[in-house]
Amino acid sequence: MDIVVNNKPEKLTNGDRLSELLVQLGLFEKKGIAVAVNNNVIGKSEWEKCGLNQNDKITIIRPTQGG
């Protein structure tokens, strides 16, 4: 499935769940990240239930240095 992750094209090769995308990206266990699908924030407890569709826009953020 073709999706867009942080404005870059990405192929989800195994499955169609948000949790499977995060495993593929090596981010499933990562602390301090937040995820949105088409600008809707998806809480961690919802990752396994959240199905993805072709061309979905995924945003993944984490904290960084700032004032």
Say whether residue 9 binds other proteins (CB under 8 A).
Answer: no
Does position 49 bind other proteins by CB under 8 A? no
Which CB sits closer to other proteins, 1 or 27?
A: 27
Number of residues that bind other proteins (CB under 8 A): 25
Q: How far is CA 41 from CA 5, 61, 65, in A?
A: 14, 11, 22
How far does Cα 62 stand from its chain's mean position? Answer: 12
Instruction: Give yes or no for residue 45 binding other proteins (CB under 8 A).
Output: no
Question: Considering the complex, what minimum distance in angstroms separates the CB of residue 15 from other proteins?
Answer: 17
